[in-house]
Structure formats: C-alpha cells, structure tokens
Structure 1
C-alpha cells in the first residue's frame, strides 16, 4: 500500500471517529436526554437513601423524613392561625 493510500485511509478512519463523537455529543445535549439522566440520577439517590445495599427499607430514615414533614405541616398551620 502506498503512502498516499495509507494516509487517505487514516483520514477516513479519523473522520469516522469524529463523526461518531459528534453524534454522541449531539445526542447527549438533547434536553430530553438530559432530563432522563437527571431523573435517573434522582431515582438512584432516592433508592440509596431509603434502602440498604440488601434492598431492605431504612425505616429510621423514612421515619425521620415523615416526622420532619409533620413538624413542617404543624408549624405552617400554627403560623397561619396566628395571622
């Protein structure tokens, strides 16, 4: 294979790699794809916060969140009555 043919082949391979990279970046930049990634990350964080590695519920954490929500609701109700 001549040097010119090899260089042309290298250029074609580089173009193909570049095209793949540009297509992947264009896909990742779509708002729908970004929203899906964010939602998936949120679900994973919520699952990690509420479940152990074995899949068991973390009752102490869920109970603390429920208790905090009750406190907020009571405080808001109390503040509204004072007005």
Structure 2
C-alpha cells in the first residue's frame, strides 16, 4: 500500500520553507498549520513561550519532518477532546 498521503512538499509556496531546514526535499508541508499547536505544552515539539505568554514554534520541525505523520495522527484524540462540547448529564 502506498503511503504518499503522508508527505507533501509545496516548493512553489511563497513561504517555502517556513522554517530553517538543511533538507528542503524532505520538508513536509502537509501540516502547514500545525494541528498540535492547541495542545500547548503537550504537543511534543520544540517550542518556547514568549515573555507575553505566546507559544512560539519557529524552531520546531515536528510537523515538517517527513517521518512524523503517525505521531501527529496519534495526538488527534487529545485534540478532539479540546474541541468537544461538554454536555450536562
């Protein structure tokens, strides 16, 4: 089975690459906007918080690493909990 859906490199994008990289050919643009951002400290990436408390992911390559598709998909359970609505029982 092909797994080409796990990788997309958009070299014609005016922002490519959006992070510093030594290997542009393996830069994954599939998760252009990181779905893990909302997990805050639990995302697993290389981030920092600014003095104003804003999450800064400019040094993070986690979503752009060609081999991290499965890691990100495993985190979707946590992401869906953030988006779910509490229903009074």
Same fold (TM over 0.5): no
Q: Which has the larger radius of gyration?
A: 1
Q: Which has the higher contact order (CA 8 A, sep 6+)?
A: 2
TM-score by length of 1: 0.28
